[in-house]
Structure 1
Amino acid sequence: DYWAPTPPSTAGALAGALICCNLSASNIVVGKARERAMLAAAQSARAICAYVYSATGIGESTTDVAWDGQGLVHELGELLAESDRFTRSPDPAARLAIADVDGERLLQERTRVGTFNDAAALAGHPETRFRRIGFTHGEDVRDTGLRRAVRRFPFVPNDPAKRDADCYEAFNIQVEGLAKRLEATAAKTLVIGVSGGLDSTHALIVAAKAADRLGWDRGRILGFTMPGFATGEATKASAWALMRALGVTGEEIDIRPAARRLLADIGHSFADGEPTYDVTFENVQAGLRTDYLFRLANQRGGLVLGTGDLSELALGWCTYGVGDQMSHYAVNAGVPKTLIQFLIRWCIRTDQYDAATDQVLETILRQEISPELVPADAAGALQSTEAMIGPYALNDFFAHYVIRHGLAPSKIAFLAYHAWRDAEAGRWPADVPADARVAYDLPTIRHWLERFCTRFFQTSQFKRSALPNGPKVSAGGALSPRGDWRAPSDGTARVWLDEIAANLP
């Protein structure tokens, strides 16, 4: 089948087959197994199908050739299962390749790829020429588990070589996207708010690399740290340490006097000494920071570099308009939070910067994620982002299967449960710290999935509908209204919440 220039399975897929089976009388020679695997992966991706390959095994004549019994199951270019080769084991597990194929995923993908039906029409509608033979499936309705691996971090490969290759591409997509925007606008400077947190850290190191490639002196990058009412000394120290290590121009603007004046002008009770830490209190700080950055860019001939990431945009975890939702170029908008952590570790591991910078980056990676807008409580506990909106590991998992695959929430919960229910099962990307290798049970997954659906579908689309420019990075999708995600700003989450209620225990 797949050695032909026009494989017959292509016509089968265009006729509607979701699973294409190649029962092959292929003998084995050195290197042929790799070629088969490459062709099976390519055909499953090109034909948007599951491709099942079975080579002839032991028991055939070896007068002039030999046989290895290679078995492969691919889906959309991804290997789901493979059998042992050259085995005489009586154990069926060694001699068989068994996997669960996701037919819904294949149908969704064919619906999205407009050229699939175009190709079927060009081929003269092969569905009219194929024989269809019906049979009774004899479905086994018992719960036999899930026979396919589900990555905990869908934006990050488990394999170290693939992880590093993806990080290389993601980082350079961001760098070249920003470099082109700086060239096109003939900006004299690049203005960025540096908090000492993950997102601004990553945006700053991307900016430094873009400056290097353009031949800029890094001093043309203007970094501003703007402490507010809850800024921690540790994060502010990290912000300054990173700016010094990278050699950018650093300045500090204390926004508290301006924030107090604004809160007093609008009659907010905090101005009268009350500990009122509401959304207005938080957004006054976020808004002032962005206001300062835009006016500084006006004053110094610069572009404001956005730092918010894909995860925050999915959840609406940003301040609209005059806030961190807005910038001249949103360099992180296509990168989820979980990938940003791996990108920073990749920069350290591959010596993108000097030892002093690496040391600061290591410190920042160890910090808890916090917006630092509300002062610590009586026990000294800082505001925790993940305590309010859920673990980013789960939110990024949900976002991937919504944005890229459009799956029903109950199916997303099913996949999340199999990915996260046992911390000891399956593979972890090598860079995940030991204390982050946690498990989540189904009630926890459901709790955060319901909140994700509410935030994603109902309360935050208006922020995404007004996104500034920024590069798409991952095949997992982006949220620009000009690209992968178009949705009404006045939508409702009811249909998704009802589906969860109907189909989850």
Structure 2
Amino acid sequence: MKIALAQINPTIGAFSANLAKMIRMAEEARDRGCQLVVFPELAICGYPPRDLLERPEFVAANLEATEALVKATKGITLICGFVDLVREKGGKPLRNATLVAQDGKVLARAYKRLLPTYDVFDETRYFEPGKTATVTEIGGIPFGLSICEDIWNDADFFPSPLYDLDPVAELVATGAKIVVNISASPFYLGKGHLRERLLCHLSAKYQRPFLYCNQVGADDHLIFDGHSLVADKGKVLARAASFKEDLLIFDLAAEKGPMAPYFERDDEEALEALTLGIRDYFSKTGFSLAVVGLSGGIDSSVTAALAVRALGAEGVLGVLMPSPYTSRASMEDAQALATALGIQTKTIAITRIYQEYRVCLEGALGEPPGDITDQNIQARIRGNLLMALANQYRGLVLCTGNKAEFAVGYCTLYGDMCGALSVLADVPKLMVYKLGRLINAQHGKKIIPERVFIKAPSAELKPNQKDEDDLPAYILLDTLVKGYVEELKSPEDLLASGLPPESLEQTLKMIYRAEYKRWQAAPGLKITAKAFGYGRRYPIAHGFDPLKFRNRRVL
């Protein structure tokens, strides 16, 4: 039997487009000799649909598209994810479902049994879990049907399983000779390697093939890397491409299929993920122009270069906005970057606007604006200009701040935080430099000028300003943010690792104090295990001091 894993990039709620794509890929799989084609989790409607699931018309359109797909698929068996209705009384009205269909008839349905609620997931908000293991014969072989989270609870792989139920063990006990897992598994750095280890473990433990079909593409802040694969007897036998659509065809009898390369370096993987995130955000929202403020620093340089990778040079407008404190070197570096990228630029000096703003404000205050007020005036003037250009040219502003700045609030609301998408919001500062070096290496020339890499980072909002005058050194700040935010380490664990107490105290206070800013920030592309935003939900108003309670332990 030849099996096709159809790794597609659906758009949430674009039922006609999703359906046409799925029919086209099913027909291609059939024409290439496949007897079975497998699509990802909720492929009909796209994942995650979130509160669109509360709209009856959305659910109805999903069911109509599913029926149309079943009727249109001839000469090949189909496995596909969709939203189904709960037909018994009690519980939630919907289920995260998959079906098996052949020549216009539905042969079996199965329902997701483990509904995740951690990090970015909130599936119990919408879905009722499935109650039984579903095994169905395809071509005389019993296939066990599972959906995403259903394979993520093996007690031999995970030290502390989250659920009492192990759906994979039940499928095997029910007689499954092959296990299929349809998935919409969001990306973060290292996630692909983790999935491979899990699937290899399961295939070795149960001594049967595992077919894993994952969604690809980006939806708002979430990126899906694809990386569909076939594993058997502890080895990966076939692998689809990462970060693009693919039709992975596997010959079950010969145990052969293509093996797409996978990224071994985090910077290479992050570069592709962020590029896809920008490209899909623009294409799925109907925009084609990115407006980027160019400061001559590393963050704006990398953001602009990523935008060009995603949208082409014609899809990026760079804006230079010098103030009285902008150095000549910064202007030269920003212009050199724009020239190397081949993007159009506009220069709007903000000095006159800034001076007039100060005069008006001083008249109201009876005194000159204070230091922070004065700095934020400049940032907000720039944000206003960027938004005006985006309005005029029907584009979207890209925010350029990195994760370290975002963590501690080293950014200005309605200033440099203005925008539709925050490209680097989940990228540590040192990773931004690595991405810049990689961009230059891939181009074979200095797209980003060398001086950008070696000069001290500065907002240039007052004379001789440097970021590290106000913050811990970025190498230290990145470590603190990773330990406290991503790895959930306690303050004493961070201190035990050798981090300076004064830097720890400063950073933790800033992280909590900046929560109100992050609630108002543009969505940021997620590339780490724990990003700020939808997957990290902290209150703004609270009295918890992590340092005061740092010696407390859970009993």
Partner of 1:90: none
Show the counterpart of 2:327. 232
Give, in angstroms, the shift of residue 491 of structure 1: 2.8
Cross-structure match for 1:4: none
Q: Which gives a bigger RCO, structure 1 or 2 (Cα 8 Å, sep 6+)?
A: 1
In proportion to residue count, which structure has more helix?
A: 1
Q: 1:349-397 CA deviation, whole Å, 9 max, x = no partner? A: xx32242415x1x22111101110002xxxxxx2111121111111111
Q: What are the within-5 Å matches in structure 2 for residues 21-40 of structure 1? A: none
Partner of 2:501: 446
> Is 1:367 paired with 2:367?
no
Partner of 1:486: 537
Question: Partners of 1:45 and 1:284 in 2: how far apart?
Answer: 55
Give 1:48's aligned residue.
158
For 1:236 and 1:44, the matched residues in 2 are separated by 55
Question: Matched residues in 1 for 2:516 and 2:286: separation?
Answer: 31
Cα distance, 1:266 vs structure 2? 1.4
Give the residue type in structure 2 aligned to 1:474: T
For residues 282-321 of structure 1, what are the structure 2 equivalents within 5 Å?
A: 282-320=375-413
1:334 maps onto 2:452 in alignment? no
- Cα deviation, residue 219, structure 1: 3.1
Provide, for residues 413-449 of structure 1, a one-character-per-residue CA deviation record: whole Å limited to 9, x for no partner: 112x1xxxxxxxxxxxxxxxxxxxxxxxx6xx11110
Say if 1:227 and 1:236, in contact at 8 Å, map to a contact too: yes
Is the alpha carbon distance of 1:45 and 1:414 closer, same or farther for their aligned partners in structure 2, counting shifts above 3 Å?
farther
User: TM (normalized to structure 2)?
Assistant: 0.52
Q: What is the distance in 1 between the residues matched to 2:345 and 2:335? A: 7
- Equivalence for 2:547: 497
**Could you say which residue in structure 2 is the equivalent of 1:278?**
371
Number of aligned residues: 314
Unaligned runs of 5+ in 2: 1-151, 171-188, 191-261
Q: What amino acid sits opposite 2:515 in the alignment?
A: Q
Cα shift at 1:295: 0.6
1:266-304: CA deviation from partner (whole Å, max 9, x where unpaired): 1179998x7x66111000000010110001000011110
Asked if 1:186 corresponds to 2:186, the answer is no
Secondary structure of 2:401's match?
Answer: coil
Among candidates 354, 357, 362, match of residue 447 of structure 2 = 357
1:46-125 equivalence runs, <5 A: 47-49=157-159, 110=160, 114-115=162-163, 117-119=164-166
Q: What TM-score results when the alignment is normalised by the length of structure 1?
A: 0.57
CA distance 1:46–1:168, change in 2 (3 Å): farther
Partner SS for 2:547: helix
% identical equivalent positions: 27
1:120 deviates by 11
In structure 2, how many angstroms separate the alpha carbons of the residues matched to 1:120 and 1:196?
53
Superposition deviation, residue 404 in structure 1 = 2.0
The 3-state SS of whatever aligns with 2:292 is strand
Q: Tell me the distance in 1 between the aligned counterparts of 2:356 and 2:366.
A: 8
For residues 483 and 493 of structure 2, the distance between their equivalents in structure 1, rounded to whole angstroms, comes to 9
Q: Structure 1 164/365 Cα, relative in aligned 2: closer, same or farther at 3 Å?
A: farther
Alignment partner of 1:204 is 2:304: yes
Q: 2:34 — aligned with what?
A: none
Higher strand content, 1 or 2 = 2
Note the C-alpha offset of 1:118: 4.3
Counterparts of 1:164-183 in structure 2, within 5 Å, are: 165-183=265-283
- The letter of the residue matching 2:540 is S
Assess if the C-alpha contact under 8 Å between 2:299 and 2:402 holds in 1: yes
CA change 1:277–1:240 in 2 (3 A) is farther
In the alignment, which residue of structure 2 is the partner of 1:424?
none
Letter in 1 for 2:442: Q
Query: Any conservation in 2 of the 1:263–1:270 contact (CA below 8 Å)?
Result: no
Question: Take 2:422 and 2:446, find their aligned partners in 1: how far apart are those partners?
Answer: 27
CA distance in 2: counterparts of 1:208 and 1:45, whole angstroms: 45
* Contact map agreement 2:387 2:418 (CA 8 A) in 1: no
Aligned equivalents of 1:281, 1:501: Cα separation in 2: 40
CA distance in 2, matches of 1:270, 1:244: 43
CA distance in 1, matches of 2:274, 2:155: 26
Aligned-pair distance for 1:229? Answer: 2.3
Kindly report which structure 2 residues correspond to 1:338-349, keeping only aligned pairs within 5 A, or say none.
338-348=430-440
How do 1:127-276 residues align onto structure 2 when only pairs under 5 Å count?
165-212=265-312, 218-267=313-362
Q: Secondary structure at the match of 1:291?
A: helix
Tell me which of 470, 483, 492 is aligned to 1:401: 483
**Inter-partner Cα distance in structure 2 for 1:498 and 1:447:** 14
Compute the displacement of 1:122 (Å): 8.5
CA deviation map 1:103-134 (0-9, x unaligned):
xxxxxxx4xx734x4449989xxxxxxxxxxx
Q: Residues 474 and 408 from structure 1, CA distance in 2 versus in 1: closer, same or farther, beyond 3 angstroms?
A: same
Aligned residues of 1:291 and 1:323 also touching (Cα < 8 A): yes
Question: Structure 1: where are the runs of 5+ without partners?
Answer: 1-41, 50-109, 124-154, 157-161, 213-217, 376-381, 418-441
Q: Superposition RMSD on alpha carbons, in Å? A: 3.1
Distance 1:253 1:271 in 2: 29
CA contact (8 A) 2:426 2:532 kept: yes
Q: Which amino acid aligns with 2:474?
A: Y
User: Could you report, residue by residue, the CA deviation over 1:431-474 in whole angstroms, capped at 9, with x for unpaired residues?
Assistant: xxxxxxxxxxx6xx1111000111112x1001111221221012
